[in-house]
Structure 1
Amino acid sequence: MRETFDRAASLYQRARPDYPDALYDDLLALTGVVPPARLLEVGCGPGKATLPLARRGFRITAVELGTALAAEARRRLAGFPHVEVVRSSFEEWEPPDTPYDLVYAATAWKWVDPRVRYAKAAALLRPGGRLAVWDAGHAFPEGFDPFFAEIQKVYDALGEGGDDVWPPPRPEDLPDPHAADLAASGRFEVVGTRRHVWARRYTAEEYLALLDTFSGHIAMAPERRDHLYAEVRRRLAARPDGRLTRHWSTVLTVGRRV
């Protein structure tokens, strides 16, 4: 499934939201890194989380499995000579001997082999170096857009509803998705977590472009996807402004190499 994202390389940067500026402020505060520290990004995609840190003057090696995604990242980061994009899986990548100050992964860590990721990240860091991971996911705060309750019935009818409870818990009621695994690895001590929730408005076509960047929708049978997308268009066409509000949530988890 992790290889499906490469099919959406041209859409990913445009359709996926940028992470909040406050997340990067928290990242630097919790890790203590300052330019020109050496950073390693695992699964950079088209450079969504690489560019903001490149602009701050960090030296970055960005490893990306997808050929098309890596090419898109190189294009977007061409103006930063201190950034290198490497086309490889993190598991198979042969790193240089110089250790890194920070290893980070933005909405990519879950796709790395759990038998490898913490041990390799720790081996690549200087003593006391930091590991930072975060994901951006759909959030359902109090008063979320009722569109999602309506469209969930379509997913369920198609057999694509999954096993999660409905409605999902509020963002503040969800546990940190990475802290327990990070601590259990024996390689890192959790030094801080920060949660961010934000909202974006989407037209039908903007929202469908977003869905086309998700692995489950990319892999969905075409006839099911066509039916789902027709239902999205039909429901939003009935709204006065033709738009929906989707909330996003991300939890930043930072660990110190022990």
Structure 2
Amino acid sequence: MSRDLRATFDRAAATYQDARPDYPAELYADLLDVTGVTPSAHLLEVGCGPGKATLPLARMGFRITAVELGAALAAEARRRLAGFSGVSVITSSFEDWEPRDRFDLVYAATAWKWVDPEVKYAKAASLLTPGGHLAVWNADHAMPSDFDPFFTEIQKTYEEIGEGHDGPWPGPTPEEQDDPMAAEFDASGHFTVVGTKLYVWALRYTADEYLALLDTFSGHIAMEPDKREHLYRQIRRLLAARPDGRLTRHWSAVLTVGRRL
């Protein structure tokens, strides 16, 4: 995973929170059920961004220390979390940060893949209390059997600009995909997996809403401007031809929870 691309998200600090989807409420309920954490626990979030996964847990009353690499994202998180006295946001990479505390739960939402694989599991384990947990999840583009044909149409444009989909199209459905995190947890030698669960949901987007979403993705942020402009024109053209001007994008998240060995 490119260390350069992970820094691109700071350029989307002002729009990320509203453009990205909320994670399902069921995911948080399952997280608490599997880990057994209660609001007396101290949580560590790795890569909090503007607070997308921080706010729901802060509202439950958890004490949270959140670490964020991007200065603009960290500032946005502090602004949004200012009303929660038990939440602090630290501007640092997880790899370089040297905390004094120990935590009951370390978690990362759509951020874990950007952390150095040589560091992340050993460091997370070292920061956990005995019996503590590590939980990670992502928000990925899901391709169920009834996915919107818009995405097949727009793939032609991605291919034209040299940004085509890797592998066969379309990719596997969410249910057909393995959980790569579970194998990674086990291989780390620091955690045993105690729970995994898949969540799939769908959202409708206007052209403006969808382009705002794309502007929070590292590949689109880093894309050459002329390529991005051509792609966005084609997206607007395809959606303008639809009666309601909207597309349906399916999302998936896999929650993986490991207990420290």
Structure-2-length-normalised TM-score: 0.98
Q: CA deviation at 1:94?
A: 1.0
Equivalent position to 1:105, from 99, 104, 108: 108
Give the Cα separation in 2 of the matches to 1:104 and 1:143: 32
Give the Cα separation in 1 of the matches to 2:84 and 2:117: 32
Q: CA deviation at 1:63?
A: 0.1
1:187 matched residue in structure 2: 190
Give the Cα separation in 1 of the matches to 2:52 and 2:68: 12
Equivalent position to 1:149, from 147, 152, 155: 152
Offset from partner CA, 1:156-180 (integer Å, 9 cap, x none): 1111014232101000000112011
Q: Secondary structure at the match of 1:178?
A: helix
Tell me how many residue pairs correspond in the alignment. 257
The answer to whether 1:161 aligns with 2:149 is no
Q: Secondary structure at the match of 2:148?
A: coil
Q: Secondary structure at the match of 2:180?
A: coil
Give the Cα separation in 2 of the matches to 1:18 and 1:177: 22
2:209 matched residue in structure 1: 206
* Paired AA for residue 233 in structure 1: R
Equivalent position to 1:65, from 56, 63, 69: 69
The answer to whether 1:197 aligns with 2:187 is no
Any unmatched runs of 5+ in structure 2? none
Q: CA deviation at 1:208?
A: 0.3
The answer to whether 1:244 aligns with 2:223 is no
1:13 matched residue in structure 2: 17
Percent identical across equivalent pairs?
73
Q: CA deviation at 1:149?
A: 0.4
Equivalent position to 1:80, from 65, 76, 84: 84
Give the Cα separation in 1 of the matches to 2:45 and 2:62: 12
The answer to whether 1:24 aligns with 2:24 is no
Offset from partner CA, 1:22-51 (integer Å, 9 cap, x none): 000011011110112000000000000000
1:123 matched residue in structure 2: 126
Offset from partner CA, 1:75-102 (integer Å, 9 cap, x none): 0000000000000000000101x31000
1:92 matched residue in structure 2: 96
Offset from partner CA, 1:56-82 (integer Å, 9 cap, x none): 011000000000000000000000000
1:53 matched residue in structure 2: 57
Give the Cα separation in 2 of the matches to 1:238 and 1:3: 36
1:34 matched residue in structure 2: 38
* Paired AA for residue 235 in structure 2: V
Task: Please give the root-mean-square deviation of Cα atoms over the aligned residues, in Å.
Answer: 0.6
Equivalent position to 2:179, from 173, 176, 180: 176
Give the Cα separation in 2 of the matches to 1:46 and 1:177: 26
Q: Secondary structure at the match of 1:10?
A: coil
* Paired AA for residue 256 in structure 2: T
Give the Cα separation in 2 of the matches to 1:168 and 1:205: 26
* Paired AA for residue 196 in structure 2: T
Q: Secondary structure at the match of 2:210?
A: helix
* Paired AA for residue 141 in structure 1: P
Q: Secondary structure at the match of 2:243?
A: coil
* Paired AA for residue 12 in structure 2: A
Q: Secondary structure at the match of 2:61?
A: coil
Q: Secondary structure at the match of 2:13?
A: helix
Give the Cα separation in 2 of the matches to 1:250 and 1:132: 12
Any unmatched runs of 5+ in structure 1? none
Give the Cα separation in 2 of the matches to 1:185 and 1:128: 16
